[in-house]
Amino acid sequence: MSLSALGAGFAGMQNYQRAMDMSAARVASASQLGGTTATDDLASSMVGTLAAKDGFQIAAKVVKAADEMLGTLIDTHA
């Protein structure tokens, strides 16, 4: 169970990292456009960046919990 949780946590971290990269690219391109469309794009991209950051942190907590469970299992069998 803890190995699948580790895999899921790492996959989540990778997905949120990609989302963060895409949001950062949109922020960079929106700041060059100017106008209200750029402001809307910038705002939605910043929201996406914050959501990706939070998702990454949650996935990292899943990895940490799975690591602790695996450590407990190893200690139990030793």
Q: What is the pLDDT of residues 9-49, one digit of tens each?
A: 999 999 999 999 999 888 888 767 666 666 777 888 889 99
Number of domains observed in the structure of the chain: 1
The pLDDT assigned to 78 comes to 61
Q: How many CA atoms lie within 13 A of 6 on its CB side?
A: 9
The pLDDT assigned to 15 comes to 97
Give the CA distances from residue 4 to residues 18, 42, 65, 67, in Å, rounded to whole numbers and listed in that order.
Answer: 21, 37, 12, 11
pTM of the model: 0.79
Domain limits for position 58: 2-77
**What is the token pair recorded at 11?**
């996959």
